[in-house]
Amino acid sequence: MRKSLQTRLTVYFIALVLIPLLIVGAIGTWQTYNSEVPQALESQGEIAKRVAEQVKNFIEGRETELRSLTEINDFSNATRDEQSVLLSNLFSNQTVYEELILTNGQGRELIFLSRLKVVTPEEFDNRTGSEEFDKPKETEATYFSPVSFNEVTGEPYMVVSVPLLDLRSGRLDYVLIAKFRFKSVWDLMGQADLTGGGVVYMTDSNGFVVAHANPSFVLKRAQITPPSENSFATGLSGASSALAVEQLAFEDQTFYILAEQPASEALSLALNNITLTIITTLVAIVVAGFLGALAARQITTPIAELATTAQLISEGDLTRTTHVSNQDEIGALATAFNRMTSQLRDLIGSLELRVTERTKALSSVAEVGIAASTILETDELLQQVVDLTKERFNLYHAHIYLLNEAGDTLVLASGAGAAGRQMVAEGRSIPLDREQSLVARAARERKGVTVNDVTQAPDFLPNPLLPNTRSELAAPMVVGGSLIGVFDVQSDTVGRFTDADIAVQTTLSSQIAVAVQNANQYEETRAALSQSEKLFNASDRLSQATNLQELIKFIVESLDIRAIDRAILGSLAYNDKDELDGMTIVANWSQSAELPSSPVGTHYPKEMLSSLSMFTSAEPLFFSDVLNDEHVDDATRAIAQKVNYRSVAALPIYIGSRRDAIVLLEGQQPHNFTQAETRLLTSLSPQFAAILENRRQFERAQEQAKREAMLNLITQKIQSATSIEAAMKITARELGHALGMKPTAVSLDSSALAGEVMKNKENA
């Protein structure tokens, strides 16, 4: 369980008050105690002394009384009746005496007065042998007996014996024995001026209580050991008490007067101090607790309210505010808290707005991205992107620059709206190294850049087609680390673009870049496929050619280049040294009779060929416009002017490692040979060579077969001859016919028949 701040503050407050209070209280109580202890003992000591004096006076007064009775009234010389009257008068006047007994010098009782019992003369006894007679007789001094207790009443009594001596002889005439009850002494105890709760009592030498204001202690023979000095000890009541003792002595008898006051009373001031301290402590606890709770409440209530409000806010209720009105630090805290809450609310609201905007932006990005990804035609894609971007992001303008193949210029590829299309049509471009261009800078730095107030940009160049542009953002289009262009958006609002917008547009530009690349790759793939199809179709057509004329024709048709209107196939000839010796046109093609190509059989000597790079180049050559191409040599340019062609492609055909033929494609109009076209033509070169070689071999095989057939025919005719002569004639005729020679002479030499035949052949 969480300890509340209020409880802790209250406890601290109470502790703060109590600790010094308890310390002061303890010190005060200790000092009071130390001063009260001797005071209490002294007070009890004075009481004990005072009461002891009273008891002493009382008992000694009895002795004095008895002595006076006998001395003043000439008691010894009085008659028995007179003595009886004197004693009776004393007995009547002093009820303290329970019995008064007069004995003669021998101990014989002469007069016996008793309050409680009837004693007749016949019952008079002899006291000889009793201490109350013997002691005064022996000592001639007053005798005080120990305290005894009445068998019937249980009450204590004491006997005082006074010897009556003859003044002349010193003889013991009488002994007056007085038995008096201690009840009168009890009264002295009861009459003592005692302080609160105190008692005073008297004990005999054995500690038995013989006088006490409460007779019960006497009657039940309560006993206590008198302390040797005044001190705090266990009193007669059994409680710790301030106990003072005063000793009394009557001849042989010793008594103690004890004044006792319970410690709780004797030390009442100290105890009151403790009580006062406790009460003060309690009151202090209450007051401190009250004030502490109040103070803590004043502190914790607003804090609790703050905590509650914070809790509610943490649960999402941002409308909550505290209502703490304290004009103190907590009030300041509450104010700051409310301000913070308000800011938090605004911030979260702003965040939500921004998230919404961002979501919307990302949605737009996604939408644009999806649109971009579904369009495979680059120009259409780019146009779609800028138009959508402008619309979805509520922009003033958007356009895309693509980096040219040289990588040094950003060419405007698409632009939103009419202005954009117009700028595209104008072929606007930005050199990559232009310092003042935001688009170029984004491309160079490969990161999104903004100018949020173009009017403040010193190097901003106003575009008449976009007069309301106030802020601009350019994001690089990068794919795989390669820059392909810049996506540039513009707003007619100052400060329109934030870092978030940069991120969004950069993301979008990346997607556009990917889409563009995909579109490019698609086009390339499609082109490659088309190329392959063309190549396949060309190969197929080429393979179907039955002669070189068809072959050259099929080549032109397979390439399907409209600008090409003429074509020739030149067979290169080499001398014995394997040097180019010349070229003979073996096949040609022309689009129309008005524009004939070089006729078949046209021979070009090596001197002529050597000055023409297109005949000597080991690599295929493509000239878009021979007349305007600086790389074209003058001889070629001259021939081109002569035969009226401007575009030309020269494709050397290799058989083995030797350049065996050249295919020359010519066009009257200039033509930029595409990569596909050059690749297709180049790809056809080996196949063309193979077909050409096959054709040649086929032709050679046909020739060989034709010869062999002729030889077989001659052989058959020769074999059909019936004579050597006939055979010889036939041989000569057939050979001459076969070899196209007339006349043919045939001689027969058996040893050289074969050699003769060969000689004829060679001659032929």
Partner 1 sequence: MKNKKFSQKLWAGFTTLILLAMLMSACGNAPEAKTYTIGVVNYLDILQPIYDGFKAGLADLGYVEGENITFIYNGAVAPERSAIEAEIQSLIDQDVDMIYAMGTLPALVAKDLVAGTDMPVLFAPVIDPVGEGVVESIAQPGGNVTGVQNANFSPKGLEWLLKIVPETEIVYVFYHPEDEVSLTVAQPLPDTAKSLGIELVLTTINSVEDALPIVQNLPAGASILIIPTPTLESLAPVKELAVERNIPIGSYEQPADGTLFSYAVDWPSQGRQAARMADQILKGAKPADLPVETADPFFTVNLPIAQKYGIVISDQILNQADTIIR
- CB closer to partner 1, 81 vs 315: 81
Residues 161-220 that bind partner 1 (CB under 8 A): 183, 214-216, 218-220
Q: Which stretch binds partner 1 (CB under 8 A): 277-285, 436-444, 538-546, 628-636?
A: 277-285
Q: Report how far residue 393's alpha carbon sits from residue 548's, in angstroms, rounded to the nearest whole number.
A: 63
- In this structure, the number of other CB atoms found within 10 A of the CB of residue 746 comes to 20
Query: Does position 154 bind partner 1 by CB under 8 A?
Result: yes
Q: Tokens 């971007």 belong to which residue? A: 389
Query: Does position 92 bind partner 1 by CB under 8 A?
Result: yes
Nearest approach, Cβ of 343 to partner 1 (angstroms)? Answer: 29
Selected binder of partner 1 within 4, 34, 153, 532 (CB under 8 A): 153
- Element containing residue 398 per DSSP (H, E): strand 397-403
- CB closer to partner 1, 331 vs 670: 331
DSSP letters, 722-748, are SSHHHHHHHHHHHHHHHHT-SS-----
Query: Does position 231 bind partner 1 by CB under 8 A?
Result: no
What lies within 8 Å, CB to CB, of 457 at 6+ separation is 451
Query: Does position 286 bind partner 1 by CB under 8 A?
Result: yes
Query: Does position 461 bind partner 1 by CB under 8 A?
Result: no
Residues 607-666 that bind partner 1 (CB under 8 A): none
Query: Does position 85 bind partner 1 by CB under 8 A?
Result: yes
Query: Does position 80 bind partner 1 by CB under 8 A?
Result: no
Nearest approach, Cβ of 499 to partner 1 (angstroms)? Answer: 48
Nearest approach, Cβ of 132 to partner 1 (angstroms)? Answer: 23
DSSP reduced 3-state for 593: coil
- CB closer to partner 1, 87 vs 612: 87
Burial (CB count within 10 angstroms: exposed 0-12, middle 13-18, buried 19+), residue 763: exposed
Q: Are 197 and 40 in contact (CB under 8 A)?
A: no
Q: Report how far residue 571's alpha carbon sits from residue 692's, in angstroms, rounded to the nearest whole number.
A: 10
Task: Return the ∠ at Cα 244 (arms to 243 and 250), rounded to 5°.
Answer: 130
- CB closer to partner 1, 236 vs 502: 236
Alpha helix segments (H runs only) across 611-651: 613-616, 634-643
DSSP reduced 3-state for 685: helix
- CB closer to partner 1, 260 vs 387: 260
Whose CA is closest to 40, among 260, 238, 271?
Answer: 260
Q: Could you tell me what percentage of the chain is helix, strand and coil, using 3-state DSSP and rounding each to the nearest 5?
A: 50, 20, 25
Nearest approach, Cβ of 103 to partner 1 (angstroms)? Answer: 20
Site string for partner 1, 370-409 (x = CB under 8 A): ----------------------------------------
Whose CA is closest to 653, among 627, 617, 678?
Answer: 617
Q: Are 218 and 155 in contact (CB under 8 A)?
A: yes
What lies within 8 Å, CB to CB, of 305 at 6+ separation is 322, 323, 324, 334
Query: Does position 709 bind partner 1 by CB under 8 A?
Result: no
- CB closer to partner 1, 279 vs 366: 279
Query: Does position 307 bind partner 1 by CB under 8 A?
Result: no
- CB closer to partner 1, 115 vs 700: 115
Nearest approach, Cβ of 182 to partner 1 (angstroms)? Answer: 13
Q: Which stretch binds partner 1 (CB under 8 A): 149-157, 398-406, 493-501, 626-634?
A: 149-157
Q: Tokens 């922009």 belong to which residue? A: 395
Selected binder of partner 1 within 24, 141, 239, 282 (CB under 8 A): 282
Whose CA is closest to 566, among 553, 582, 583?
Answer: 553
What lies within 8 Å, CB to CB, of 441 at 6+ separation is 435, 449, 474
- CB closer to partner 1, 89 vs 374: 89
- CB closer to partner 1, 300 vs 490: 300
Q: Report how far residue 405's alpha carbon sits from residue 426's, in angstroms, rounded to the nearest whole number.
A: 19
- CB closer to partner 1, 301 vs 591: 301
Query: Does position 73 bind partner 1 by CB under 8 A?
Result: no
- CB closer to partner 1, 114 vs 253: 114
Nearest approach, Cβ of 357 to partner 1 (angstroms)? Answer: 43
User: CA–CA distance from 26 to each of 18, 31, 102, 285, 750 (Å)?
Assistant: 12, 9, 66, 17, 168
Nearest approach, Cβ of 131 to partner 1 (angstroms)? Answer: 24
Selected binder of partner 1 within 35, 88, 343, 422 (CB under 8 A): 88
Nearest approach, Cβ of 266 to partner 1 (angstroms)? Answer: 15
Nearest approach, Cβ of 511 to partner 1 (angstroms)? Answer: 59
Selected binder of partner 1 within 12, 290, 536, 698 (CB under 8 A): 290
Query: Does position 22 bind partner 1 by CB under 8 A?
Result: no
What lies within 8 Å, CB to CB, of 490 at 6+ separation is 395, 396, 397, 398, 466, 469, 471, 472, 473
Q: Which stretch binds partner 1 (CB under 8 A): 54-62, 119-127, 373-381, 421-429?
A: 119-127
Q: Report how far residue 94's alpha carbon sits from residue 105's, in angstroms, rounded to the nearest whole number.
A: 25
Query: Does position 297 bind partner 1 by CB under 8 A?
Result: yes
Phi-psi region of 394 (alpha: psi -120 to 50; beta: other; left: phi over 0): left
Selected binder of partner 1 within 4, 7, 93, 719 (CB under 8 A): 93
Query: Does position 117 bind partner 1 by CB under 8 A?
Result: yes
At 177, list the tokens.
Answer: 């024995």
Selected binder of partner 1 within 120, 228, 592, 751 (CB under 8 A): 120
Nearest approach, Cβ of 168 to partner 1 (angstroms)? Answer: 32
Q: Tokens 């707003």 belong to which residue? A: 491
Query: Does position 546 bind partner 1 by CB under 8 A?
Result: no
DSSP reduced 3-state for 601: coil
Selected binder of partner 1 within 293, 457, 635, 711 (CB under 8 A): 293
Query: Does position 123 bind partner 1 by CB under 8 A?
Result: yes
DSSP letters, 127-151, are -TTSHHHHHHHHHSS-EEPPPEE-T
- In this structure, the number of other CB atoms found within 10 A of the CB of residue 342 comes to 12
DSSP code at position 174? E
Nearest approach, Cβ of 212 to partner 1 (angstroms)? Answer: 11
End-to-end CA distance of the chain: 130
Give the binding-site size for partner 1 (rule: CB under 8 A): 41
Nearest approach, Cβ of 506 to partner 1 (angstroms)? Answer: 56
- CB closer to partner 1, 278 vs 724: 278
In this structure, the strands spanning 172-181 and 240-250 are unpaired
Query: Does position 301 bind partner 1 by CB under 8 A?
Result: yes
Query: Does position 315 bind partner 1 by CB under 8 A?
Result: no
Nearest approach, Cβ of 207 to partner 1 (angstroms)? Answer: 16
Question: Under the rule (CB under 8 A), what is the footprint of partner 1?
Answer: 85, 88-89, 91-93, 95, 114-118, 120, 122-123, 152-155, 183, 214-216, 218-221, 275, 278-279, 282-283, 285-287, 289-290, 293-294, 297, 301
